[in-house]
């Protein structure tokens, strides 16, 4: 195709880069370029990629893990959202009413000092009690965006009316969002509770499965089964055991999760039994049994997780029965090493 387009110096390298090198064509090495002495950037090169600022380092000295810097606008947005989030629905409603009353008072105050900001039927609203009621009425009409038109703002009253309308709509929108989010939070809590209960049931079921599998491997060892079959099944059950142990550890370290003492005690007791039968199995393996690298790594991870489950390790206070089983798990983990 290239020859048909008029190109004459055309060669075919069917072997790719190997044929290119074999033909003696020039090549460039990325290693040679990287190992060359650094020099000042060549301004004549238009394809040079700027190096950019140096990577930040965390307090532990890890490059590229420095703290993120947020822009001022982002921090302002977060602060406003946090301020609204911390307020209850009643507090936001009181603020909304207060904004309306304050704006109405400003309209009436303008009439009091001679700067009439409201006109009703072509006549400025006065500074008497009737004028104050009219100002409050107009303020409510403006905040709710009804706008009957019987009273209209003039002069500086227009600025106050616009500011009140924007502020009141934002606050009222937050009030409505609070009402809607309350129902959503109730649904999310219910879904979370159901999912959490299913998670606890799954953990306990898997731990019983681990114990059954370890006992089966123990029977294989007693029957002098081939070591490769023992190793394969042992790796599989230890991986499953490590996952359930991590889940149990996360349950104990979560501050917002509430687990019944009876359910948690059953899980910890089953976990301690599984640790015990695993330690017995590892102790009775034949001398010629060699631990594979995946098995060694998983056992180290398993013992590391078990050492974090103890009455003094967890960041929360638990009942003596739970602390007893946690200490049993940690003590049994030392036998696995």
Q: How many CB atoms lie within 10 A of CB 129?
A: 9
Query: Edge-to-edge strands of the sheet including 123-124?
Result: 123-124, 118-120, 151-153
CA 203 – CA 182 distance, rounded (Å):
31
pLDDT > 80? residue 274: yes
CA 111 – CA 202 distance, rounded (Å):
72
pTM of the model: 0.47
What's the rounded mean pLDDT across residues 172-197? 76
pLDDT tens figures, 208-226? 999 999 999 999 998 988 9
How would residue 119 be classed by pLDDT, with cut points 50, 70 and 90?
very high
Q: Where are the domains of the chain?
A: 75-154, 182-336
CA 106 – CA 198 distance, rounded (Å):
58
pLDDT > 90? residue 138: yes
pLDDT tens figures, 74-116? 555 566 667 777 788 888 889 999 999 999 999 999 888 888 8
pLDDT > 50? residue 125: yes
- For 237-251, give one letter per residue: b (16+ CB within 10 A) or e: bbebbbbbbebbbeb
Measure the CA angle with vertex 313, ends 308 and 319; round to 5°: 110
pLDDT > 80? residue 59: no
CA 228 – CA 323 distance, rounded (Å):
39
Lowest mean pLDDT among 55-69, 99-113, 184-198: 55-69
CA 230 – CA 223 distance, rounded (Å):
11
Measure the CA angle with vertex 211, ends 282 and 267; round to 5°: 120
């Amino acid at each position: 195709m290239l020859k048909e387009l008029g190109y004459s110096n055309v060669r075919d390298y069917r072997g790719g880069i190997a044929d290119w090198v074999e033909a003696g064509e020039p090549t460039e090495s990325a290693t040679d370029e990287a190992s060359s002495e650094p020099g000042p950037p060549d301004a004549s090169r238009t394809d040079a990629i700027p190096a950019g600022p140096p990577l930040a380092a965390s307090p532990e000295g890890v490059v590229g893990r420095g703290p993120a810097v947020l822009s001022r606008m982002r921090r302002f947005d977060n602060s406003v959202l946090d301020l609204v989030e911390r307020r209850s629905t009643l507090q936001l409603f009181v603020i909304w009413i207060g904004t309306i009353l304050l704006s109405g008072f400003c309209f009436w105050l303008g009439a009091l000092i001679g700067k009439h900001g409201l006109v009703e039927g072509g006549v400025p609203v006065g500074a008497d009690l009737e004028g104050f009621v009219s100002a409050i009425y107009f303020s409510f009409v403006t905040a709710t965006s009804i706008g009957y038109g019987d009273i209209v703002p003039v002069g500086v009253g227009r600025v106050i009316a616009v500011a009140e309308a924007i502020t009141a709509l934002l606050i009222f929108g937050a009030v409505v969002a609070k009402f809607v989010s309350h129902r959503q939070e109730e649904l999310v809590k219910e879904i979370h509770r159901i999912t959490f209960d299913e998670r606890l049931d799954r953990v306990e079921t898997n731990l019983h499965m681990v114990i059954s599998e370890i006992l089966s491997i123990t029977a294989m060892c007693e029957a002098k089964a081939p070591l490769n079959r023992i190793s394969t099944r042992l790796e599989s059950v230890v991986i499953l055991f490590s996952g359930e142990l991590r889940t149990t550890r996360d349950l104990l370290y979560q501050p917002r999760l509430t687990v019944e003492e009876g359910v948690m005690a059953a899980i910890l007791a089953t976990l301690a039994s599984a640790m015990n039968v695993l330690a017995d199995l590892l102790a009775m393996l034949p001398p010629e049994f060699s631990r594979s690298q995946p098995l060694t790594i998983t056992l180290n991870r398993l013992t590391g997780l078990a050492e974090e489950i103890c009455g003094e390790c967890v960041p929360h206070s638990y009942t003596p029965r739970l602390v007893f089983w946690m200490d049993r798990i940690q003590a049994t983990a030392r036998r696995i090493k």
